[in-house]
Each structure stands twice: as C-alpha cells, then as structure tokens.
C-alpha cells in the first residue's frame, strides 16, 4: 500500500510539473530541433553550392587552357550569378580577368576585377583586384581613375605593390617628384630579400633617384 502511495505521489508530482512546464519544454524542444535541422540544412546547402561551383570552375579552367576568352567569360558570369557567395566566384573572376587581358579585351578584364571589388568577401582578393585594375587603367591612360582605385586602405602585404603601381601611374602623368616618393615607399615596404626590389630601384633611378628630403 505504501508503494502504491509513493507511486501516486510521484505521478501527482509529475503531473503538476507537466502542467507548469510541459508546454514550455515542448516548445524548447521544438525550437532546438528546428535550429538543428536548419543548421544541418544550411551546411548541406553550402556543400552542395560549393560542389556545383567547383564543377563549373573546372569547366572554366578547361576554357582557360584553350584560351577561349568568350567561354571563360561566360563561365565566370555563370558562377558569379549562381554561386556568388562561394570562393570559386572570386577565383573565376581572376581567371577571367587574366584571359581577357591576354586577349586585349581590357573592358572585360576590368569588369571581372570590379566584380571582385564589389562582391568579394576576402580583403586580400580585393587588394589584388585593385592593383591589377589600376594596371589596366594605366594601360588605358585613365590615370586619375587608377589613382582612385589605389587610394583605398590595403592590407599590409600589398602596400609595396600598390605604391609601385601608383609610381607607374605618376610617371605616366609626368609627376616625377610624387612618383619618386611612391617608388621609395614601395622599396621601404618591401622585404629586403624580395627580388622585385631591383626592378623598383631601376625605375626609381630612371627618374632621378630617391626623392629629395625636405629641409629641416
């Protein structure tokens, strides 16, 4: 009898707890399951997107190998439109820009690099796109536009390359004092063992050497 009474008390306690917290517990469980399902679904979606993007990227690289500029540009546009949030979109843009540049299709090259600036999610990729875009603008004699592209803050590893490119544009504008300062900055920012230092030094020497220091 005592055992039955204990069971009845436990059952009553359980019923009382369920009446107070049952609905809350159910909703917490539902929310947790929904969150897990959403997380699992998102991960699956991301993996699926990445896989499909990689397949398109492989197709683009085949077109790159055959130097088929038109096909490369179409593939890049397809990846950017369908899988713009994946890393393959930026990679495809750089590949397309290089092929377009080699084909002397400078407008297409600019469009691809601009896509990286507008939609890229990696700061290093954006910095590289800026430097390459400024080079194309230099070729097109759009000097002011090139300087504007380089005016943004760039990650430290790209400071030397950006200053070097700025110097090239300033030389083209015949602004030699500013060009000397830019080349000197490029040298200062570059690691001492970098073989690129010799080329920058040659360019600096060609326009008269190191910039004059302001009088104290």
Q: What CATH number corresponds to the domain at position 71?
A: 1.25.40.10
Would residue 117 count as lying in a domain? Answer: yes
213 belongs to a structural domain: no
Range of the structural domain that residue 45 is part of: 12-206
Amino acid 1: pLDDT: 46
pTM attached to this predicted model: 0.74
Count up the domains in the chain and report the number.
1
Q: Which of 44-48, 138-142, 164-168 has the lowest mean pLDDT?
A: 44-48
1 within domain boundaries: no
pLDDT tens digit sequence for 112-144:
999 999 999 899 999 999 999 999 999 999 999
pLDDT in tens, 63-116: 999 999 999 999 999 999 999 888 899 999 999 999 999 999 999 999 999 999
The mean pLDDT value for 197-214 works out to 83
Q: What is the mean pLDDT of residues 23-30?
A: 60
Name the percent of the chain lying above pLDDT 70: 75
Residue 3 lies in a domain: no
> How far from each other are the two terminal CA atoms of the chain, in whole angstroms?
105
Residue at 80 is within a domain: yes
Domain membership of residue 65 (yes or no) is yes
pLDDT at 168: 97
Average pLDDT over residues 168-187: 96
Q: Is the pLDDT of residue 28 over 60?
A: no
Q: What band does 25 get if pLDDT is binned at 50, 70 and 90?
A: low
**Does the residue 142 lie in any domain?**
yes
100 found inside a domain: yes
Which stretch of 4-13, 30-39, 108-117, 154-163 has the lowest confidence by average pLDDT? 30-39
Q: Which of 36-40, 174-178, 209-213 is predicted with the least confidence, judged by mean pLDDT?
A: 36-40
Q: What is the pLDDT of residue 216?
A: 39
Q: How many residues does the chain have?
A: 216
Mean pLDDT across 179-188:
96
Asked if residue 2 has pLDDT above 60, the reply is no
**Six-digit token string for 184:** 């000197």
Per-residue pLDDT at 171: 96
């Amino acid at each position: 009898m005592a055992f039955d009474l204990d069971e009845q008390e436990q059952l009553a306690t359980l019923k009382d707890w369920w009446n107070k917290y049952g609905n809350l517990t159910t909703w917490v469980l539902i929310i947790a399951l929904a969150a897990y399902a959403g997380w699992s679904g998102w991960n699956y979606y991301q993996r699926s997107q990445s896989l499909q993007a990689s397949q398109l990227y492989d197709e683009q690289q085949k077109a790159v190998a055959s130097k088929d500029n038109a096909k490369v540009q179409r593939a890049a546009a397809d990846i950017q439109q369908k899988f713009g949030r994946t890393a393959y979109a930026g990679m495809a843009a750089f590949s397309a820009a290089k092929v377009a540049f080699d084909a002397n299709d400078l407008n297409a090259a600019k469009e691809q690099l601009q896509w990286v600036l507008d939609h890229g999610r990696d700061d290093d990729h954006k910095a590289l796109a800026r430097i390459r875009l400024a080079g194309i603008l230099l070729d097109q004699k759009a000097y002011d536009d090139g300087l504007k592209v380089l005016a943004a803050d760039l990650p430290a590893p790209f400071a030397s390359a950006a200053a070097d490119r700025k110097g090239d544009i300033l030389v083209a504008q015949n602004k030699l004092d500013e060009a000397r300062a830019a080349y000197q900055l490029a040298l200062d920012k570059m690691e001492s063992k970098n073989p690129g230092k010799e080329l920058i030094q040659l360019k600096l020497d060609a326009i008269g050497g190191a910039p004059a220091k302001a009088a104290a």
